[in-house]
Amino acid sequence: MKTVYVLKCYLTSSEGLRAKGVEAVVDCVVSEVYDGDIARIRELVLGILGRILAGGPGLGELSFDSNESIGSTHMLYRFRYRVDPGSEDYIGARVVVRGTSIVRVLFTFPRRLGGLISIKEVYDPSEELSKGGPRENTGAPGQVYIPGMVIYNILGVPRVDASGWSLEVSGLVSNPVKLSLSGLYELGVETIRTDFHCVTGWSVKNLEFTGVRLSKIVELVKPRESVKWVYVESLDGYTTIFPFNEVTRGDGLVALEMNGKPLDILHGYPARLIIPSLYGWKSAKWVSRIMFTDEYRDGYWEALGYHPRGRVDLEERFKML
């Protein structure tokens, strides 16, 4: 048996994952050649489990769950590991393949198995983000254009009462605000036409969104010098994060309308983010809170290995470090 080369493992989680029964995620960076032999993936998953579980892997059972492509460059394989084959509890394993390399293996732990984790280190995005300057004219590498947006609601569609809803904008700012729907309109709305790109590989051309520019909201709340990140929370418990400078230089929107009509509930009514330069998971629907902060923390998909920034032009699908 070949020895497993694990570069590093991180411990993480998010509110939304907890709501789905995942208490913690262990995210391991690996660098392994993959020649298409699924046995190699199984061997690797078991090998890493042996390293990260306090007390070793034991005599559990690893079973294949599903796989799919992520863009034209990546594959994602999902497995389950039952520590005790007699129990329903399992550790989920997500294996990220990029071209001919296995680059990441992530493990999701339910609460009852959280005690088995021996990893404590947390991910630091700063090195990763030192790459990549101004926007590249590369288009959307690895994407396929389709006629309309695929609707996602990983945590369900929340019940929304727009009259009671407000968007809190807070954190390290001198003027925190709570904006109602009419309050947002009073700030002044603009209409943009943009392509939209989901990290799984689909894109839609030329969509029309109307809303308040994020740069306008920045002017209003006045973030402190130390702000580096924008952390976003939604009514359904969804969270995401992106660098502050993507907001100040970009064309991001708190969108209230799509094609001249209020957003459909399925597309995030009453308000969602639209950040055209970043993959779609950063464009949180049913947004309820925008927090300016100096500290990085994983949102829902970031905790499952997705990139802290997610720039489309640089094809930042998964974390690399």
Binding residues for ligand MTE, per CB under 6 A?
149-155, 198, 234, 236, 238, 267, 280-281, 283-286
Q: Residue 205 CB, nearest distance to ligand MTE (Å)?
A: 14
**276 lines the binding site for Mo ion (CB under 5 A):** no
Which one, of 102, 116, 87, 156, lies nearest residue 24 by Cα? 116
Q: Which is nearer to ligand MTE, 53 or 155 (CB)?
A: 155
Q: Which is nearer to ligand MTE, 172 or 230 (CB)?
A: 230
Q: How many residues bind Mo ion (CB under 5 A)?
A: 3
Q: Which is nearer to ligand MTE, 151 or 320 (CB)?
A: 151
Among Mo ion, ligand MTE, none, residue 149 binds (CB under 5-8 Å by kind): ligand MTE
Q: What single letter denotes the amino acid at residue 233? A: E
Q: Residue 256 in contact with residue 263, Cβ under 8 Å?
A: yes
Stretch near Mo ion under the rule CB under 5 A, chosen from 7-15, 197-205, 222-230, 246-254: 197-205
Q: What DSSP character marks residue 273? A: E
Q: Residue 235 CB, nearest distance to ligand MTE (Å)?
A: 7
Judged by CB under 5 A, the residue of 142, 270, 280, 299 near Mo ion is 280
Residues 69, 316: Cα–Cα separation, whole Å: 15
For residue 192, list its beta bridge partners: 209
Judged by CB under 5 A, the residue of 198, 241, 254, 304 near Mo ion is 198
Tokens 């809303």 correspond to 211
Q: Which is nearer to ligand MTE, 105 or 199 (CB)?
A: 199
User: How far is the CA of 7 from the CAs of 20, 51, 109, in angstroms?
Assistant: 28, 12, 21
Whether the bond between 110 and the residue before it is cis, its omega within 30 degrees of 0, is no
- Name the helix (H) or strand (E) containing 44: helix 38-52
Positions touching Mo ion (CB under 5 A) are: 198, 280-281
